[in-house]
Chain A
């Protein structure tokens, strides 16, 4: 501690700062040495044994909170993370139409042209698989959020797409009826091991009856199948799909027309592929190659346009391409009244913009509710904190009473009170304050929501305020008055500043509760007084657009966090007290 001084000869040394071996310094050094190598009673270094005992304490503490921690993780953190994820998740397009998405890479929406035959081929294959898996309707509803009409287009196409390969199937079966046999295909394209396993599985399935739920064995492609890439691909999809959808093995099912179509396509492209196969398979394929000229060609593009003219619209393909990435800002754009079109981000049409207004209204109304809660709650909290115990208890019961009645009952009661033929209007008319013809509109609008919500959230303002006010000793106000302050000055400069933490806590509680409330606005809000949360609820339970609901929820969450942050910057979160 003194070695720096040693070098600085100019610094005058005090009597206690002499650095030589004075008795004092020797003692200090000894003390320091002892500290460095302090050992616990069992001989381990003190630091280590302290760390060990602290670790044990921490572990025990962690074990005590573990149940709660797990509960919070499972029921709170995980759903929020899932929601955040859902709001950008968009794998459905690439999962359902993988080939189309790949083929569309080479197509440019800006060109204004319909994509080439490769895209339609890919689309045909994707749609056939999707139809078998019944996935095309889900994709349709997803894309319909972005382009109206695409849902019915996909449904229509789904009904008709199976017919596209039909001609080739018929031609092949006409050539050789063996093509109709599932075993022909399995023998040609799968390994013997798989066939054996599948046969055994089929026997077990027969014996097992209805309770049998073992999945069929996984299909394995034979080596030779690689010579027929499209066929192998289609057959794999076929085998997988019937395996999962109908619990059937490929040995027992006639392949989809898609497989026939693929085989024709493969052989047209690689006539030599037949040589890769032996025996009957090779012969059958060779015969097919011979007969190829007689089998009609399929123009998938023409077939699609025949199913629906819409497929000629680049807008449809542009939308599919725009939403092909696995993650999309689309939901967030929708939540901000924007839309992702193939041309880029655009504003929604005027009459479809609702979310920005809703967000602003939600925030504005929550602020209004918070403010009216402060206004009404402050005097009540003051009374609670300053009345003699007995009256305070009665008042407290009155404050808590709303907690004991059902939310629905309370809200419905407001309906009775506020409606145009309701109690309040009747009284006003009877008093002659308003004419019978122009009764006040106090329900199914902003006013109704603010009144009912203020009533419901008032206790959340009063309780924190009360608990803070309870801790302000009356002597402060007395001191202020004795120092010459009038009642009002004493309140403004001494009492009020000390109650601000209560206002802060109450406001945060009320505001956050209000911003996410939806039952009350739903009942008394009409169309003008609903909150963003009502819209979220609508998307979750009615329109089933969970992605948009998640995006709206995320925006709400971020808005609350920003407000919380702003509050912290302006007032300081330490200034929030719930009591004590």
Chain B
């Protein structure tokens, strides 16, 4: 059943992974049952912890690794047997991979030369690509004479100069400092939009993923845990891994007491009761892990009379400028974080103080244990 809907979705997809599996050593699956369909022009980010198989997926798409099982399609055509150089996919590598023995202009000319594009045409394209990344004057330099950010721009220009429809980027900004990263993030998204190219972007920086992408695929353990637009990913994580991985998150473990429509009561391991929204739980008695974002917790809440609240002891108060961060001991755990905005009337809590905390049931998601 699931496969038939997947088939429908991949029919007109530009890039499609269909039940792809990959094993390097014949013993463990690095990628397990990957299904993914991307429409043309989408900016999709693969996000996940180290070793979760992101690069492997990218390499299979680029043709440097072969899928052990399943099919990868590009524009409707299976590409499993097409060698990398015929796939016409632009690629930006984490270490830039600019050819050190060629100048910037020669680097950019390379994909055009192998495509046997005439000299004048070539020069026009190189110029356009360099201007696009604001590196017009650097054509004569060697890669070693450029800064990291400049090299990254050139790598980007080189991946775009032959006008591929699909561009893959494997942690292209991993080696840069924060400021530069933000500038380049913006530039990459702008270029992708202007040129209308489809981008598969790999990162393990969640901010990068959230700010740049149309959709984010969260990888773990060789599977896509959730594939959704950034806001949905943050606000409605489908399982506790995604909740943990994206943004800051408080978790409490317990057992489902009862479920009533879109509300459920959870008995925490410490004995207290709380309200939550059932996401991954279906019946009473299941173990669950509830997740609450720190900014959705209210201190001394004014909730309905039947709402459950918890007692909490203040352990630490951190002043962060625009926000306050308070660490609390809740239900026997002392890593519970509450974020409050710095407003004129916001009370500042002192360590040792005891307060009551609560939240709207829909903000507290009961996920898999």
Give A contacts to B, CB under 8 Å.
Answer: 473, 475-476, 478-487, 489-490, 493-494, 497-498
Taking a contact as CB atoms under 8 Å apart, the answer to whether A482 and B100 are in contact is no
User: A483 and B93 in contact (CB under 8 A), knowing A476-B99, A497-B101, A498-B101?
Assistant: no
Query: Which residue of the partner chain A has the closest CB to B106?
Result: A493
Taking a contact as CB atoms under 8 Å apart, the answer to whether A485 and B95 are in contact is no
User: In the complex, which residues of chain B have a beta carbon less than 8 angstroms from the beta carbon of A485?
Assistant: 85, 110-111, 114
Distance to closest chain B CB from A485 (angstroms): 5
Distance to closest chain B CB from A500 (angstroms): 8
Give B contacts to A, CB under 8 Å.
Answer: 62-64, 83-91, 93-95, 97, 99-101, 110-111, 114-115, 158-159, 162, 168
Q: Which 6 A-B pairs have the closest CB atoms?
A: A483-B111, A479-B97, A482-B91, A475-B97, A481-B84, A484-B114
Taking a contact as CB atoms under 8 Å apart, the answer to whether B111 and A478 are in contact is no
Of the residues A479, A490, A493, A498, contact of B91 by C-beta under 8 Å: A479
User: In the complex, which residues of chain B have a beta carbon less than 8 angstroms from the beta carbon of A482?
Assistant: 62, 84-85, 87, 89-91, 159, 168
User: In the complex, which residues of chain B have a beta carbon less than 8 angstroms from the beta carbon of A473?
Assistant: 95, 97
Distance to closest chain A CB from B62 (angstroms): 6
User: In the complex, which residues of chain B have a beta carbon less than 8 angstroms from the beta carbon of A489?
Assistant: 114
Taking a contact as CB atoms under 8 Å apart, the answer to whether A476 and B97 are in contact is yes
Distance to closest chain B CB from A575 (angstroms): 10
User: In the complex, which residues of chain A have a beta carbon less than 8 angstroms from the beta carbon of B114?
Assistant: 483-486, 489
User: In the complex, which residues of chain B have a beta carbon less than 8 angstroms from the beta carbon of A478?
Assistant: 62, 64, 84, 91, 93, 97
Query: Which residue of the partner chain B has the closest CB to A478?
Result: B64
* Interface of A, helix, strand, loop or mixed by DSSP: helix
Q: List 19 A-B contacts (CB under 8 A).
A: A475-B94, A475-B97, A476-B97, A476-B99, A478-B62, A479-B93, A480-B110, A481-B84, A482-B90, A482-B159, A482-B168, A483-B91, A483-B110, A483-B111, A483-B159, A483-B162, A484-B114, A484-B162, A489-B114
Q: How far is the CA of A438 from the CA of B278 in the complex (A)?
A: 92
User: In the complex, which residues of chain A have a beta carbon less than 8 angstroms from the beta carbon of B91?
Assistant: 478-479, 482-483
Q: How far is the CA of A486 from the CA of B162 in the complex (A)?
A: 16
Taking a contact as CB atoms under 8 Å apart, the answer to whether A494 and B99 are in contact is yes
Distance to closest chain A CB from B222 (angstroms): 22
Taking a contact as CB atoms under 8 Å apart, the answer to whether A484 and B85 are in contact is yes
Query: Which residue of the partner chain B has the closest CB to A473?
Result: B95
Distance to closest chain B CB from A87 (angstroms): 43
User: In the complex, which residues of chain B have a beta carbon less than 8 angstroms from the beta carbon of A479?
Assistant: 91, 93, 97, 99
Taking a contact as CB atoms under 8 Å apart, the answer to whether A475 and B162 are in contact is no
Q: How far is the CA of A227 from the CA of B201 in the complex (A)?
A: 110
Q: How far is the CA of A560 from the CA of B110 in the complex (A)?
A: 38
User: In the complex, which residues of chain A have a beta carbon less than 8 angstroms from the beta carbon of B63?
Assistant: 481
Q: How far is the CA of A476 from the CA of B89 in the complex (A)?
A: 15
Q: How far is the CA of A479 from the CA of B110 in the complex (A)?
A: 11
User: In the complex, which residues of chain A have a beta carbon less than 8 angstroms from the beta carbon of B101?
Assistant: 497-498
Q: How far is the CA of A483 from the CA of B111 in the complex (A)?
A: 5
Q: How far is the CA of A270 from the CA of B91 in the complex (A)?
A: 107
Q: How far is the CA of A102 from the CA of B88 in the complex (A)?
A: 89
User: In the complex, which residues of chain B have a beta carbon less than 8 angstroms from the beta carbon of A480?
Assistant: 99, 110
Taking a contact as CB atoms under 8 Å apart, the answer to whether B85 and A475 are in contact is no
Query: Which residue of the partner chain A has the closest CB to B87?
Result: A482
Taking a contact as CB atoms under 8 Å apart, the answer to whether B97 and A481 are in contact is no
Query: Which residue of the partner chain B has the closest CB to A493?
Result: B110
Distance to closest chain B CB from A481 (angstroms): 4
User: In the complex, which residues of chain A have a beta carbon less than 8 angstroms from the beta carbon of B85?
Assistant: 481-487, 490
User: In the complex, which residues of chain A have a beta carbon less than 8 angstroms from the beta carbon of B111?
Assistant: 483-485
Q: How far is the CA of A478 from the CA of B83 in the complex (A)?
A: 11
Distance to closest chain B CB from A571 (angstroms): 13
Distance to closest chain A CB from B60 (angstroms): 13
Distance to closest chain A CB from B88 (angstroms): 7
Q: How far is the CA of A482 from the CA of B88 in the complex (A)?
A: 7
User: In the complex, which residues of chain A have a beta carbon less than 8 angstroms from the beta carbon of B88?
Assistant: 484
Of the residues B86, B95, B100, B115, contact of A498 by C-beta under 8 Å: B100
User: In the complex, which residues of chain B have a beta carbon less than 8 angstroms from the beta carbon of A484?
Assistant: 85-86, 88, 111, 114-115, 162
Query: Which residue of the partner chain B has the closest CB to A498?
Result: B101
Q: How far is the CA of A479 from the CA of B91 in the complex (A)?
A: 7
Q: How far is the CA of A498 from the CA of B99 in the complex (A)?
A: 9
Of the residues A475, A486, A490, A493, contact of B93 by C-beta under 8 Å: A475
Interface centre among B111, B159, B168 (most CB of A within 10 A): B111
Q: How far is the CA of A481 from the CA of B62 in the complex (A)?
A: 9
Taking a contact as CB atoms under 8 Å apart, the answer to whether A483 and B158 are in contact is yes
Distance to closest chain B CB from A41 (angstroms): 37
Q: How far is the CA of A484 from the CA of B63 in the complex (A)?
A: 12
User: In the complex, which residues of chain B have a beta carbon less than 8 angstroms from the beta carbon of A486?
Assistant: 85, 114
